[in-house]
Amino acid sequence: MNNSRDTFSSRLGFVFAAAGSAVGLGNLWRFPYLAAKYGGGIFILVYLLLAVTLGFTLMITEIAIGRKTGLSAIEAFKKLDKRFGFVGNLASIVPFIIVPYYCVIGGWVIKYIIAFVTGQTSAAAQDTYFTGFITQPVEPIIWFAVFVLLTSVVVIIGVQKGIEKASSLLMPLLVVLIVVISIFCITRPGAMEGVKYYLLPDFSNFSVTTVLAAMGQLFYSMSLAMGIMITYGSYMKKEDNLRTSVRQIEIFDSAIALLAGLMIVPSVFVFSGGSEEALNKGPSLMFVTLPKIFENMSIGSIHIGTVVGAGFFILVLFAAVTSSISLLETCVSILCDKVHWSRKKSTLIVTAYILIIGAVISLGFGPLDFIQILGLGLLDFFDFISNSVLMPIVAIFTCICIGFFVKPKVIYDEVELNGSFKEKKFYTVMLKYIAPICLILILIFAVSEAMGWITV
Ligand code: PHE
């Protein structure tokens, strides 16, 4: 059966599909607010260091596992070593935790599309607009539901390929637009302060939390430690060069995140003087900051911000949908494999699950804002459990399983089927020692902090 597994028609096809899953709200919405919050340049430095070390190690491992076994995460781990079957199960929980809140943010994006398309640019630029919106009980849930339905309709009628094709045109367009908006931002008076904050590492801003935040973001943004890259790898052709593909996905994903930050973080300095409060906005940062930019955007006396804003949010929606499709797809195939429901039934049940849990998360900003778990609101709590707890655990066991039981040779062989594996030594040390030790420390830290055992 595995022999008949579809493969991507070319290496670039694989890179695009994996990048379509990787590039999404993680890059555009999550990365900038973390960079703003966790010290700017120092966060970027830590993130990039982690990307070329830990990120590379994990991604090449996952894709190689997938291509070697031709299976998705749950079965792949079982096949490699029976005792590690639970890693696949653990990894499978992650997309179920992420997808509901991912869709809540997707709903916010739709709300902003509507705001710009209907010309409410100035209203959207007000400080109170965003809070006024998310604290309402009903409206955010409606947009969230629209986003969920959009995603599941695509999956049910099976036009993912079409969407991916469209996004290979729209993604570059999004990149161009981000570059244009960034240039506009960093040439505003006062922006240089922000560019410095964003790009120059200030070591006095460094803390363990910076590393924790950067690592969680790395997993999230590169769709690691949740089985997705294993599944993607299982579709990759044996002739393709694995190492080059991994490098390309990483570079692409990081470049988009960096650019998105360059568009958002300096603007915080332009419009709010870079105050601590403004930098600490968290999940709302993109939605509060960008409309202010669009409101001020004109060429001569012609205001172009409304059109640019509408176009921008539409493209963001596309990037978000390609990622949410891959999340939903993963959940669906897990149910198909595990409980043997039909695709249709699985899709409907996952959709219903997302609608219920997502609605509760959305209400967490309004009527349910009294619900705080470990001092976190609902959305932040879901985000914390997946990115700071489950993903490190999955990553630790992946390293141990391959490093000490299955042995790294399996990965070398797979990578060397086509092309060289230049970083072999480095990879091995990373996989067997550095990555697991760092991950364990970080995990202990994250849990201790959340439980209030330590304070930073
Ligand atoms: N990596 C995606 C992003 O950056 C999020 C995602 C995670 C998508 C896991 C699919 C699977 O937005």
326 lines ligand 1 (CB under 6 A): yes
In ligand 1, the atom with minimum distance to the C-alpha of 25 is 12
> Where residue 1 falls among pLDDT bands split at 50, 70, 90?
very low
Tell me the C-alpha to C-alpha distance, in Å, between residue 391 and each of 92, 94, 191. 10, 7, 36
Report the percent of the chain where pLDDT is more than 70.
Answer: 98
Rounded to whole angstroms, how far apart are CA atoms 295 and 322?
28
Rounded to whole angstroms, how far apart are CA atoms 297 and 311?
14
> Where residue 443 falls among pLDDT bands split at 50, 70, 90?
very high
Q: How far apart are the first and last CA of the chain?
A: 52
- What pLDDT score does 156 carry? 87
Mean pLDDT of 420-425: 94
Residue 317 pLDDT > 60: yes
Alpha carbon of 154 to ligand 1 centroid (Å): 17
Q: Which of 115, 326, 351, 104 is nearest to 230 (CA)?
A: 326
Alpha carbon of 223 to ligand 1 centroid (Å): 5
Per residue in 334-384, pLDDT tens?
Answer: 888 888 999 899 999 999 999 999 999 999 999 999 999 998 999 999 999
Structure tokens at 218: 């790395």
Residue 5 pLDDT > 70: no
Tell me the C-alpha to C-alpha distance, in Å, between residue 22 and each of 165, 222, 411, 430, 440. 16, 5, 22, 23, 25
25 lines ligand 1 (CB under 6 A): yes
Which residue from 326, 350, 386 has its CB within 8 A of the most atoms of ligand 1, so it is best to mutate? 326
Rounded to whole angstroms, how far apart are CA atoms 254 and 246?
12
147 three-class SS: helix
Plot region of 39 (φ>0 → left; ψ -120 to 50 → alpha; else → beta): left
Structure tokens at 110: 């739709």
> Where residue 139 falls among pLDDT bands split at 50, 70, 90?
very high
- What pLDDT score does 121 carry? 96
221 lines ligand 1 (CB under 6 A): yes
Rounded to whole angstroms, how far apart are CA atoms 412 and 298?
54
CB neighbour list of residue 61: distance below 8 Å, 6 or more residues apart: 398, 399, 402, 411, 431
Tokens 């240089």 sit on residue? 192
Considering only 154-163, 226-235, 369-378, which range has the smallest mean pLDDT? 154-163
Mean per-residue pLDDT over the chain, rounded: 92
Residue 50 pLDDT > 70: yes
Tell me the C-alpha to C-alpha distance, in Å, between residue 256 and each of 100, 311, 330. 24, 17, 24
Per residue in 234-251, pLDDT tens?
Answer: 888 899 899 999 999 999
Q: Is the pLDDT higher at 123 or at 4?
A: 123
Which letter does DSSP use for residue 298 in this model? E
- What pLDDT score does 456 carry? 66
In residues, how long is the chain? Answer: 456
Alpha carbon of 22 to ligand 1 centroid (Å): 5
Backbone angles phi, psi at 201, to 5 degrees: -65, 130
For helices 191-199 and 41-50, angle between their N-to-C axes, nearest 10 degrees: 30
> Where residue 3 falls among pLDDT bands split at 50, 70, 90?
very low
Closest Cα to atom 2, ligand 1: which residue?
22
Q: What are residue 298's DSSP bridge partners? A: 303
Coarse DSSP helix, strand, coil percentages of the chain, rounded to the nearest 5 percent:
80, 0, 20
Structure tokens at 334: 């897990």
Alpha carbon of 320 to ligand 1 centroid (Å): 8
List, in order of start, the domains of the chain with CATH numbers.
2-451 (1.10.4160.10)
Output the CA torsion 258→260→265→268 (10° steps).
Answer: 180
Which residue from 102, 230, 318, 382 has its CB within 8 A of the most atoms of ligand 1, so it is best to mutate? 102
- What pLDDT score does 18 carry? 82
Q: What are residue 302's DSSP bridge partners? A: 299
Rounded to whole angstroms, how far apart are CA atoms 297 and 338?
51
Residue 130 pLDDT > 90: yes
- What pLDDT score does 167 carry? 79
Rounded to whole angstroms, how far apart are CA atoms 1 and 70?
10
159 three-class SS: coil
